[in-house]
Amino acid sequence: MNKAIRGSIMLAGIKLEVFHIPQTQSNFYVFSQTQVATAVNVPKMYVTRWLKNKESTVESGFYESQYLDSKRVEALPGNNFTGHKIESNKQGKRGESRIKIVPIELAVEFWLDQALTRNNEQAIALTYACLNEALKRRCDEIFLGKLTTDLIDYESDTEDDKNNFLTYLQSRSILRDSHISFTNCCLYNGFNAAIAHNEITKQLLGKTAKELREDELINGNYRVGLNHIPNSDELILIAKVKLEFSRYRHGNVYERVKRAVNEIMKLK
């Protein structure tokens, strides 16, 4: 039988484990209820109580029909969210511990509730990151897809050119996603994101954003220094450092940048 597939993402500088449930709709993702609570520094019972108090008309409601040996999560058109469980071990043996889960849509709704009713700073950062990324992806669907097609048609004459250009666009997409976590981390810690960004590019490329703007524009807005970097590997390196920077909980901007650069360079 298929198992739940585990992966990890960075959101507002927080590393989260996400699960994809097989044999359901292709885009059904869940978090553990414990993780949803820990992400905003509240006890797990807050999530459990919030789920129980939800109105029975929640459109994204689910009910627990079976344990993981069914390998299924059943969606209702309306009522009674009680959560589902997945096994935490890889063997799927009976009697092992199970993880209570919550769909990502409800996780975001819980964080939003914490942000609005409790003024929870971590919840504010998480919901901001979710909203910001969702809007950017909607815009990308319209503009980046058309841009990719147009530029490949008019600027790429060979298959190698097309592959190189697609790699460049993919590296920019990776960098854009990492920048969301990076800026939210700076916002949460009261850092100046521009100063932190300049320190990263100085350490990796020897240039600030202003100095990068003096180079030839490759793509996008000329006022953005990263748009003047032609090397995909350098863009991905910056993205990795920004994600590593976002993981840290201690140190000032310069200490975190130095530590992040050292960690990423070790992996090269």
Which DSSP string do the residues of 42-53 spell out, in sequence order? --HHHHHHHHHH
Spacing of C-alpha 55 from chain mean position? 29
Q: Span 192-201, mean pLDDT?
A: 92
**pLDDT for residue 23:** 58
* 12-49 per-residue burial string, b: 16 or more CB within 10 A, e: under 16: bbbebebbbbeebeeebbbbbbbbbbbbbebeeebbbe
This prediction's pTM: 0.48
Domain residue limits, the chain: 5-117, 156-267
Whether 81 has a pLDDT exceeding 60, the answer reads no
Q: Which of 173, 193, 170, 174 is nearest to 246 (CA)?
A: 193
Percent of the chain with pLDDT over 70: 66
pLDDT digits (tens, 9 = 90+) for 44-63: 999 988 888 764 334 334 43
pLDDT digits (tens, 9 = 90+) for 90-108: 454 554 456 788 889 889 9
Q: Give CA–CA dist 60/51, Å, rounded.
A: 12
**pLDDT for residue 195:** 92
Count helices and strands (H / E) in the chain: 9, 7
Q: Give CA–CA dist 104/32, Å, rounded.
A: 9
pLDDT digits (tens, 9 = 90+) for 137-176: 777 666 655 554 554 454 444 445 445 545 655 666 777 7
Mean predicted lDDT score pLDDT of the chain: 74
